[in-house]
Amino acid sequence: GAGVSQSPRYKVAKRGQDVALRCDPISGHVSLFWYQQALGQGPEFLTYFQNEAQLDKSGLPSDRFFAERPEGSVSTLKIQRTQQEDSAVYLCASRRQAPKDEQYFGPGTRLTVT
């Protein structure tokens, strides 16, 4: 079956523009995570959904970042008024449900803010 897919794979935005990053999780996976990976760093947690409920958004760096998963499947991470420090790879992961289940990662979206 298909894995986690993300689009676009690459995005270049001018500073101040809004961007939307899409994640298609594995079908039937209840849990969905967004991570941010800066160059040379490990991924850092942004936010977590269980079905359509956003249960933790403690990792979102500012109120310019917003995520949604309205029907409990596809998720969108939106960044408003992008800044240069937002340049990173944004990874989405989905998990069947339980903490013991594996998180499957997508290939990521590389965002470059110029």
Partner 1 sequence: AQSVTQPDIHITVSEGASLELRCNYSYGATPYLFWYVQSPGQGLQLLLKYFSGDTLVQGIKGFEAEFKRSQSSFNLRKPSVHWSDAAEYFCAVGTASFTGGGNKLTFGTGTQLKVEL
Query: Is 23 a binder of partner 1 (CB under 8 A)?
Result: no
Distances in Å between the Cα of 74 and the Cα atoms of 62, 63, 92 are: 22, 21, 11
Contact 84, 25 (CB under 8 A): no
Question: Judged by CB, which is closer to partner 1: 58, or 84?
Answer: 58
Question: Judged by CB, which is closer to partner 1: 40, or 70?
Answer: 40
Question: Judged by CB, which is closer to partner 1: 20, or 30?
Answer: 30
Rounded distance between C-alpha atoms, residue 84 and residue 65, angstroms: 14
- Among 18-26, 43-51, 61-69, 70-78, the segment contacting partner 1 (CB under 8 A): 43-51
Sign of CA dihedral 40, 66, 47, 3: negative
Query: Is 65 a binder of partner 1 (CB under 8 A)?
Result: no
Give least dist CB 15 to partner 1, A.
25
Query: Is 94 a binder of partner 1 (CB under 8 A)?
Result: no
Give least dist CB 81 to partner 1, A.
26
Contact 82, 16 (CB under 8 A): yes
